[in-house]
């Protein structure tokens, strides 16, 4: 299982929702500028740059095929793998997708805004400007989890290049067609949540309706502390059930354990 993190995330983000007893080996490649990866300071960050790294790794280490998955940005990368490498991808998992089939989607405007502030102002001033903005007031009301994520992007613990990373990736995207989505012919699970402006439930539903035979599930909103099971546990349950179904259909096709180094994390 090759499962990619979201924008600003890392391998730990993936392990929080991945079932421990799934019977599949989990590999996450931390994209440039994320987690413990190296950051060569490219002229621009791009999904194609990340995709090239993921493709090179999967081609070398998973010659018999693999299940592709991802959260948000990682879901966009997984979708690209399924469309461009249909002979390698055995299954597809899209968790809280943020992209559909075009670049710079409107739902990523809050991330582009925060990225721009970080490139325009010192970090504390960028935080102050954001908190006082109408956009922040709206997001805080409609999607508290998104608000917390945006505040985290503005934190002192973030790398100096985070503003450019956010702006470049949130303005990027893969240009696919509905026909390409309809050509996906592997078991597919799409998981969406409510009250998530950056990852609209309607977008997850649109992907589900466009991918033949896909399964659509809702997980509790991430900030719902009273949900039982919560977002993390319920997502892990859904992934476990989905992977069990794939294993039953193709019991001899398993990803081999891979221990990464450098920008690869398992």
Residues 76 and 122 in one domain: no
- Per-residue model confidence (pLDDT) at position 248: 86
pLDDT at 261: 30
Spatial distance between the Cα atoms of 148 and 225, rounded to a whole number of angstroms: 14
Q: Are residues 63 and 112 in the same domain?
A: no
Position with higher pLDDT, 254 vs 217: 217
pTM value is 0.93
Under the banding of pLDDT at 50, 70 and 90, the label for residue 73 is: very high
% of the chain beyond a pLDDT of 70: 92
pLDDT tens per residue, range 198-210: 999 999 999 999 9
Q: Give the model confidence (pLDDT) of 224-241 as tens digits.
A: 989 999 999 999 999 999
Task: Give me the residues paired with residue 89 across strands.
Answer: 66
Range of the domain at 123: 106-169
- How do residues 75-97 score in pLDDT, each as one tens digit? 999 999 999 999 999 999 999 99
Categorize the per-residue pLDDT at 22 as very low, low, confident or very high, splitting at 50, 70 and 90. low
* Whether residue 140 sits in one domain with residue 234: no
pLDDT at 254: 43
- CATH code assigned at 9: 3.40.50.1820
- At residue 262 the predicted structure's pLDDT band, cuts being 50, 70 and 90, is very low
pLDDT of 114 strictly over 80: yes
* Gap between the Cα atoms of 167 and 10, Å rounded: 18
pLDDT at residue 180 above 80?
yes
Q: Are residues 21 and 95 in the same domain?
A: yes
pLDDT band at 260 (very low <50, low <70, confident <90, very high): very low
- End residue of a domain, out of 169, 185, 207: 169
Query: Given pLDDT bands bounded at 50, 70 and 90, which one contains residue 36?
Result: confident
| 266 pLDDT higher than 60 | no
d(CA 61, CA 210): 30
User: Are 89 and 187 part of one and the same domain?
Assistant: yes
State what percent of residues in the chain have pLDDT above 90. 84
Residue 263 binned pLDDT confidence (cut-offs 50, 70, 90): very low
**Domain limit, last residue, from 128, 148, 169:** 169
211 in the same domain as 149: no
Q: Which of 138, 169, 200 is the last residue of a domain?
A: 169
| Residues in contact with 43: Cβ distance below 8 Å, sequence separation at least 6, in sequence order | none
CA distance 31 to 151: 21
User: 163 with 94, same domain?
Assistant: no
Residues 97 and 190 in one domain: yes
Selection from 176, 177, 207 nearest residue 190 by Cα:
207
pLDDT value at position 104?
A: 97
Q: Which of 19-33, 47-61, 73-87, 104-118 shows the lowest mean pLDDT across its residues?
A: 19-33
Domains contained in the chain, number:
2
Same structural domain, 8 and 84 = yes
Mean pLDDT to the nearest integer, 148-166: 95
């Amino acid at each position: 299982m090759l499962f990619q993190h979201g924008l600003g995330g890392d391998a730990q983000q993936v392990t929080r929702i991945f079932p421990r007893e799934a019977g599949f080996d989990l590999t996450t490649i931390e994209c440039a500028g994320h987690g413990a990866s190296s950051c060569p300071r490219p002229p621009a960050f791009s999904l194609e740059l990340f995709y090239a790294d993921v493709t090179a790794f999967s081609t070398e280490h998973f010659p018999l095929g693999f299940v592709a998955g991802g959260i948000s940005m990682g879901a966009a990368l997984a979708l690209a793998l399924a469309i461009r490498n249909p002979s390698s991808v055995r299954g597809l998992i899209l968790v809280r997708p943020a992209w559909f089939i075009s670049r710079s989607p409107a739902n990523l405007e809050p991330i582009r805004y925060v990225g721009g502030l970080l490139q325009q102002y010192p970090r504390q001033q960028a935080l102050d400007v954001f908190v006082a903005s109408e956009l922040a007031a709206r997001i805080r009301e409609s999607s508290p989890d998104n608000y917390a994520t945006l505040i985290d992007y503005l934190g002192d613990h973030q790398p100096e290049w985070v503003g450019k990373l956010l702006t470049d990736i949130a303005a990027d995207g893969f240009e696919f067609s509905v026909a390409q989505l309809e050509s996906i012919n592997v078991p597919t699970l799409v998981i969406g949540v409510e009250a998530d402006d950056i990852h609209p439930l309607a977008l997850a539903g649109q992907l589900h309706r466009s991918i033949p035979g896909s399964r659509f599930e809702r997980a509790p909103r991430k900030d719902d502390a009273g949900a039982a099971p919560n977002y993390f546990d319920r997502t892990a349950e859904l992934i476990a059930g989905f992977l069990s179904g794939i294993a039953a259909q193709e019991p001899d096709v398993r990803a081999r354990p891979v221990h990464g180094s450098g920008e690869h994390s398992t």
